Amino acid sequence: MSEAAIPALPRQAVLVEPRHFELRQAAVPHPAPGEILLQVKCALSCGTDLKFYRRGHPLFSFPMPFGHEFSGVVLEVGQGVDAFRPGDELMAAPTAPCGECFFCARGQENLCVQVIDTMVMGAYADLLLLPAHVAARNVFKKPSTLPFEEAALLEPLSCVVHAQAMARPEPSETCMVVGAGAFGLLHVILLKAAGVRTVVVAGRGDARLRWAAEMGADRVIDARREDVASQAGALNGGYGPDLVVEATGQVSGWESAVRCVRRGGRVVFFGGCAAGTSLQLDTRRMHYDSLTLLAPFHYRPADVRRARDLLVERKLGAGRIINERRRLSELPQVFDLLEQGDVLKCAIIP
């Protein structure tokens, strides 16, 4: 177990308005029954946080604490928490379903009515209070052999695990990932770990394409200089990729993914687009080419457990995706780096 002490003046980053946050001193919270008070050891930057930073989010209002990928050490537990005690090193997902609603009853816990409304935000901080429903379902002890940085990947990896559970990639297939950001490259890592024969990445930026190759992509396509659809059509013996994973969160990326997939193939719309946007589909191609379009959202507890096992086994090498480290006091520089595309994921160490 790790030694942990409550900071005298704990800090928390609060997003006051788009592109303006403050590092405020916060009162030390004490856990209610079922809750856990965590000392944050690592929080990771995320593309969703960058969206919050740029324009806010329709489900959250300002001012808002932010940051939701984290790991840490237990400082205090509320009444009824028996599985954990002070000093335990933890890894956690920031949401958990109710287990009782219409969607939960159908195994679609990712669509649970409370999942996003009760999401834990505020990991860019010294301390973080985990609510009872999260503590009960999606919190795990972290082995001492697993670094805090890699443990903090539990939430994004859970999303990727859920998407690939829907897509069901096969070792014999050729898969293309559209987008070479952090999520796109997590898909590459997981696809290669699953033994997929050929993984191709289409993206922009010399650094990102280089990182894609380092993460195991068998081929990279520079979307700035090459026609992605024609390059995709030459894959797989001229039939095109069996599976295309869209990981840009842009309508243009969604459209490109549909153009690239082979007849009878599958498209995973992983990246969420901005509200109010729409996708135009060639209905004839959709029907006569027998395409399967999938749009995974979030994750289920089973996906979290699978992601946890993958991280603990330490066979993925997922920590490679973290290529910058900064202090909590340097958070403004972190978001500058993210906007410039100079980092994949940054570990923020309080």
Q: Are residues 19 and 107 in the same domain?
A: yes
Q: Are residues 168 and 57 in the same domain?
A: no
For residue 215, tell me if it sits in a domain. Answer: yes
Q: Are residues 258 and 137 in the same domain?
A: no
Domain count, the chain: 2
Output the pLDDT for position 243.
98
CATH of the domain at 107: 3.90.180.10
DSSP letter string, 78-110: -TT--S--TT-EEEE-S----SSSTTGGGT-GG
pLDDT digits 0-9 by tens, 23-59: 999 889 999 999 999 999 999 999 888 888 887 776 6
Contact in structure between 46 and 78 (CB atoms under 8 Å) = no
Q: Are residues 52 and 148 in the same domain?
A: yes
pLDDT digits 0-9 by tens, 219-253: 999 999 999 999 999 999 999 999 999 999 999 99
Q: Are residues 26 and 148 in the same domain?
A: yes
Structure tokens of 152?
A: 């903090």
For residue 1, tell me if it sits in a domain. Answer: no
Q: Are residues 19 and 42 in the same domain?
A: yes
Question: What average pLDDT does the segment 338-345 reach?
Answer: 89
For residue 322, tell me if it sits in a domain. Answer: yes
Question: What average pLDDT does the segment 50-78 reach?
Answer: 88
SS3 15: strand
Partners of residue 236 on adjacent β-strands: none
Contact in structure between 132 and 142 (CB atoms under 8 Å) = no
For residue 309, tell me if it sits in a domain. Answer: no
For residue 305, tell me if it sits in a domain. Answer: no
Domain span including residue 209: 159-294
Q: Are residues 28 and 136 in the same domain?
A: yes
Contact in structure between 138 and 85 (CB atoms under 8 Å) = no
For residue 59, tell me if it sits in a domain. Answer: yes
SS3 25: strand
Question: What average pLDDT does the segment 188-213 reach?
Answer: 96
Contact in structure between 182 and 50 (CB atoms under 8 Å) = no
Q: Are residues 135 and 179 in the same domain?
A: no
Contact in structure between 160 and 215 (CB atoms under 8 Å) = no
Output the pLDDT for position 2.
64
Nearest C-alpha neighbor of 112 from the set 325, 300, 339, 348: 300
For residue 307, tell me if it sits in a domain. Answer: no
Partners of residue 12 on adjacent β-strands: 24, 125
Give 305's DSSP letter.
H
CATH of the domain at 213: 3.40.50.720
Q: Are residues 216 and 244 in the same domain?
A: yes
Domain final residue pick, 294, 309, 337: 294
Q: Are residues 167 and 262 in the same domain?
A: yes
For residue 334, tell me if it sits in a domain. Answer: yes
Q: Are residues 16 and 89 in the same domain?
A: yes
CA distance 312 to 139: 14
pLDDT digits 0-9 by tens, 286-321: 999 999 999 999 999 999 999 999 999 999 999 999
pLDDT digits 0-9 by tens, 260-272: 999 999 999 999 9
pTM, whole model, 2 decimals?
0.95
Burial class (CB in 10 A: 0-12, 13-18, 19+), 229: middle
Q: Are residues 21 and 137 in the same domain?
A: yes
Output the pLDDT for position 1.
59
H or E segment and range at residue 62: none
